């Protein structure tokens, strides 16, 4: 189920990192999902998580968002405001675009008089000005995903100066290649303008290289950090560029090796 979820949560002593995981493990009964994961995302950094299906990527995001608790280890978001965005938009079909975003602002305690102005600003930031009164069924898949992004951004509006963290769980996986490419551009622009820290889950290796400052590879279940790949290329990048393709090929080979070792 896709939703944008606010999680206020500094757990442990503020570290200065946007999020820091130290020795995090998670098991569901006797089934281990994550094992001894340590990971640090710096303020303003864009980090992509890769791994085979079932390796615990979504579980990790849920833990960072405080929707679940780790079985062991600590997670520290240093008081940052956190929003979580999943693959499907999950907009309320009976509400207009504006009302969907205002509902997220209402959960933040934003006064009614301010909600309309902030909603308009957020819609403009995802290039949907003029669609305020439309309902989800009147929008394309890419436009609905833009509304979902605007709603998630509503949860990251930072009034305390603590910084913001956006968690994204395969948000563009169901879109066609052209729409996905356009939304990559939009997300990169918004990330820069709003100085967000982003932890982005994907199965698409080229997408990870296209977007990330760093790509983190998880092992098959239980998920462990097995390798990290810095992405030193200048921005903006094209997903079909030679440089992106070359690094993606290297990461894909490493991913295949890991999947083959675990038989997943």
Q: What is the residue extent of each domain of the chain?
A: 5-92+162-262
Identify the pLDDT of residue 4: 38
Contact 172, 203 (CB under 8 A): no
Confidence of residue 164 (pLDDT cuts 50, 70, 90): confident
Choice among 24-38, 62-76, 136-150, 226-240 with the minimum mean pLDDT: 136-150
Q: Is 258 exposed, middle or buried (0-12, 13-18, 19+ CB in 10 A)?
A: buried
Bigger pLDDT: 184 vs 264: 184
pLDDT in tens, 230-245: 999 999 899 999 999 9
| Number of continuous H segments (helices) and E segments (strands) in the chain | 7, 10
What number of other Cβ atoms are within 10 A of residue 127's Cβ? 13
Average pLDDT of 96-115? Answer: 87
Residue 80 phi, psi dihedral angles, 5° rounding: -70, 150
pTM of the model: 0.86
Q: Which helix (H) or strand (E) holds 213?
A: none
Choice among 69-73, 248-252, 259-263 with the minimum mean pLDDT: 259-263
Strands 225-230 and 214-218: antiparallel
Confidence of residue 14 (pLDDT cuts 50, 70, 90): very low
Confidence of residue 262 (pLDDT cuts 50, 70, 90): low
pLDDT exceeds 50 at position 6: no
Q: Is 119 exposed, middle or buried (0-12, 13-18, 19+ CB in 10 A)?
A: buried
Q: Does domain 5-92+162-262 have CATH number 3.40.50.300?
A: yes
pLDDT exceeds 50 at position 161: no
pLDDT exceeds 60 at position 94: yes
The residue written with tokens 């978001």 in the block is 77
What is the Cα–Cα distance from 40 to 55, expressed in whole angstroms? 19
Contact 85, 166 (CB under 8 A): yes
Confidence of residue 155 (pLDDT cuts 50, 70, 90): confident
Confidence of residue 226 (pLDDT cuts 50, 70, 90): very high
What is the Cα–Cα distance from 264 to 256, expressed in whole angstroms? 10
Choice among 2-16, 109-123, 128-142, 152-166 with the minimum mean pLDDT: 2-16
Identify the pLDDT of residue 237: 93
Give the dihedral of Cα atoms 261, 73, 33, 149; nearest 10 deg. Answer: -110
Provide the token pair at 71: 């079985």
pLDDT exceeds 90 at position 250: yes
Average pLDDT of 12-29? Answer: 81
Instruction: Please provide the average confidence, as pLDDT, over all residues in the chain.
Output: 86
pLDDT exceeds 50 at position 138: yes
Identify the pLDDT of residue 157: 64
């Amino acid at each position: 189920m896709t939703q944008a979820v606010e999680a206020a949560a500094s757990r442990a002593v503020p570290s200065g990192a946007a999020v820091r995981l130290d020795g995090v493990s998670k098991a569901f009964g006797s089934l281990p999902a994550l094992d001894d994961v340590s990971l640090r995302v710096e303020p303003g950094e864009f980090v992509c998580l890769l791994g085979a299906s079932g390796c615990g990527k979504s579980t990790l995001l849920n833990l960072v968002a405080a929707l679940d608790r780790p079985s062991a280890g600590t997670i520290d978001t240093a008081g940052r405001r956190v929003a979580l965005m999943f693959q499907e938009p999950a907009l309320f079909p009976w509400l207009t675009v504006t009302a969907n975003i205002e509902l997220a602002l209402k959960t933040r305690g934003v006064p009614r008089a301010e909600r309309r102005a902030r909603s308009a600003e957020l819609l403009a930031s995802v290039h949907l000005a003029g669609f305020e009164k439309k309902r989800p069924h009147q929008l394309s898949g890419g436009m609905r995903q833009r509304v979902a992004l605007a709603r998630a951004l509503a949860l990251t509006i930072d009034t305390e100066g603590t910084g913001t963290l956006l968690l994204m769980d395969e948000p563009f996986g169901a879109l066609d290649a052209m729409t996905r490419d356009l939304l990559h551009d939009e997300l990169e622009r918004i990330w820069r303008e709003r100085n967000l820290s982003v932890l982005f889950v994907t199965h698409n290796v080229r997408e990870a290289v296209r977007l990330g400052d760093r790509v983190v590879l998880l092992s098959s279940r239980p998920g462990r950090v097995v390798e990290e790949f810095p992405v030193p290329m200048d921005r903006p990048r094209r997903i079909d560029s030679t440089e992106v393709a070359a690094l993606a090929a290297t990461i894909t080979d490493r991913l295949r090796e890991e999947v083959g070792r675990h038989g997943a």
